[in-house]
A and B are shown apart, each in its own frame.
Chain A
Amino acid sequence: AQSVSQHNHHVILSEAASLELGCNYSYGGTVNLFWYVQYPGQHLQLLLKYFSGDPLVKGIKGFEAEFIKSKFSFNLRKPSVQWSDTAEYFCAVSPYSGYSTLTFGKGTMLLVSP
């Protein structure tokens, strides 16, 4: 079975600081990778996803992530965070199949101070 590890449980940044959230997964085969975001009081929304091809994927709101297969990593980055990026971020992995389940990491709570 697959598993996901997120490096930081809480991150505090000032506006305009750069962001990198770590994510490592464990699975022996081909995977799909995702980052979801949950704003306070809301449900999860997709930020970006990687299925195949270019390992650098761009998502909404200026976020991007890089898939490094040799390191089993899929780190999320943003050059300059805003107060509105305050949210919880979840990395998720599923095996490469339309019928596979999605496994989430424990999440990273990002607090951006104005």
Chain B
Amino acid sequence: NAGVTQTPKFQVLKTGQSMTLQCAQDMNHEYMSWYRQDPGMGLRLIHYSVGAGITDQGEVPNGYNVSRSTTEDFPLRLLSAAPSQTSVYFCASRTTSGNTGELFFGEGSRLTVL
């Protein structure tokens, strides 16, 4: 059972480059989200989606784009990377059935922007 799979695990970019962080889940979860984790800041929500074709902004959406064309996939795009986007990124998913709030996390993607 793979759960939530993120790729790549590590990435180094130069300022201005673009890239996509991939996230896939095999649990048929409607809800998917992206967080960034920075020292002393906890996890901050970037974007989330409650189903295919539906996305919304979280606390820190600037500089990031998302799309949700399928239930399984929720890629995060950096269009023009900046050093401030150096962080560890976590994708997480859960069901929206009933009131189940437990999030299942991927292993994380460590991004460095030079």
Contacts and interface: CB of A to CB of B under 8 A. Distances in A.
Interface of A: 9, 32, 34, 42-46, 49, 51, 90, 94, 96-107
Interface of B: 31, 33, 35, 40-45, 48, 50, 58, 90, 92, 95-103, 105-108
Contact of A104 (B43, B50, B108): B43
Contacts of A45: 105
B105 A44 contact: yes
Contact of A44 (B48, B58, B90, B101): B90
Contacts of B40: 9, 106-107
B42 A49 contact: no
A101 B107 CA distance: 20
Given A43-B105, A99-B31, A90 B98 contact: no
Given A43-B108, A99-B31, A101-B58, A32 B43 contact: no
Interface centre among B31, B43, B90, B108 (most CB of A within 10 A): B43
Nearest to A96: B99
Contact of A43 (B44, B50, B99, B106): B106
A94 B101 contact: yes
B101 A99 contact: no
A98 B42 contact: no
A46 B102 contact: yes
A89 to B, nearest CB: 11
